Structure 1
Amino acid sequence: MKALLAAILTLLVAAPAFAGDCILDNCADRQPLPEAQASPAGGFARGGGFGRGVWRGGGASGDFDFYVLSLSWSPSFCETTGSRRPSAQCVPGANPGFVVHGLWPQNDNGYPSQCSGDSDLPYSVLSRLGDLYPDPGLARHEWRQHGLCSGKPPAGYFADVRAARDSIVVPPALKAPQGDQRMAPLDIQRAFMAANPRLRAGMMAVTCRRGAFQEARFCLSKDLRNFVACPQVAREGCRGQSVVVPAGQ
Structure 2
Amino acid sequence: MATMKLAAIAVALLLPLVAGVASADEFDFFYLVQQWPGSFCDTQKGCCFPDTGKPAPEFGIHGLWPNYAKCRPAEPELVDDVEMVVDGVPAIGRHHRRQKCWPEYCNDGNQLNPWEIKDLVAELDSHWPTLSCKSGRSMEFWSYEWKKHGTCSGMDQHGYFAAALELKKRHSLAAILADAGIVPSDEESYFLSSIRDAIADATGAVPNLECNRDAFGETQLFQVYQCVDRAGKKLVDCQLPMQGMCRDRAKLPVF
Summarize the Cα distance change of 1:67–1:112 in structure 2 as closer, same or farther, 3 Å threshold. Answer: same
Deviations 1:190-244 (A, max 9, x none): 1112222x213xxx21110111110000111122343334432x33344412111
1:98-137 to 2 correspondences below 5 Å: 98-109=59-70, 110-116=101-107, 118-127=109-118, 128=121, 129-134=124-129, 135-137=138-140
Say whether the 8 Å CA contact 1:185–1:238 is kept in structure 2. Answer: no
Match of 1:222 among 222, 230, 239: 230
User: Are 1:179 and 2:182 matched, yes or no?
Assistant: no
Q: TM-score, normalised by structure 1?
A: 0.65
1:116 CA displacement: 1.7
Moved more, 67-76 or 120-129: 120-129
- Partner SS for 2:115: helix
Partner Cα distance (2:250, 2:225) in 1: 16
What is aligned with 2:205? 199
Say whether the 8 Å CA contact 1:73–1:98 is kept in structure 2. Answer: yes
Partner Cα distance (1:145, 1:81) in 2: 27
What is aligned with 1:18? none
1:125 CA displacement: 3.7
Match of 2:42 among 79, 82, 104: 79
1:169 CA displacement: 4.0
RMSD: 2.8
- Partner SS for 2:146: helix
1:58 CA displacement: 3.5
1:158 CA displacement: 0.8
Structure with greater contact order relative to length (CA < 8 Å, sep ≥ 6): 2
- Partner SS for 1:130: helix
Deviations 1:31-75 (A, max 9, x none): xxxxxxxxxxxxxxxxxxxxxxxxx96331233111100000011
What is aligned with 1:88? 50
- Structure of greater Rg: 2
Say whether the 8 Å CA contact 2:191–2:250 is kept in structure 1. Answer: yes
Say whether the 8 Å CA contact 1:82–1:90 is kept in structure 2. Answer: no
* Counterpart residue type for residue 96 of structure 1: P
- Partner SS for 1:151: coil
Say whether the 8 Å CA contact 2:112–2:143 is kept in structure 1. Answer: yes
Say whether the 8 Å CA contact 1:219–1:230 is kept in structure 2. Answer: yes
Say whether the 8 Å CA contact 2:163–2:233 is kept in structure 1. Answer: no
Summarize the Cα distance change of 1:120–1:244 in structure 2 as closer, same or farther, 3 Å threshold. Answer: same
Say whether the 8 Å CA contact 1:221–1:227 is kept in structure 2. Answer: yes
1:126 CA displacement: 4.9
Partner Cα distance (2:152, 2:142) in 1: 15
Moved more, 108-117 or 178-187: 178-187
Instruction: Give % identity.
Output: 24
Match of 1:146 among 137, 144, 149: 149
Q: How many residues align?
A: 186
What is aligned with 1:35? none
* Counterpart residue type for residue 197 of structure 2: R
Question: What runs of 5+ residues in structure 1 fail to find an aligned partner?
Answer: 1-55
1:187 CA displacement: 1.2
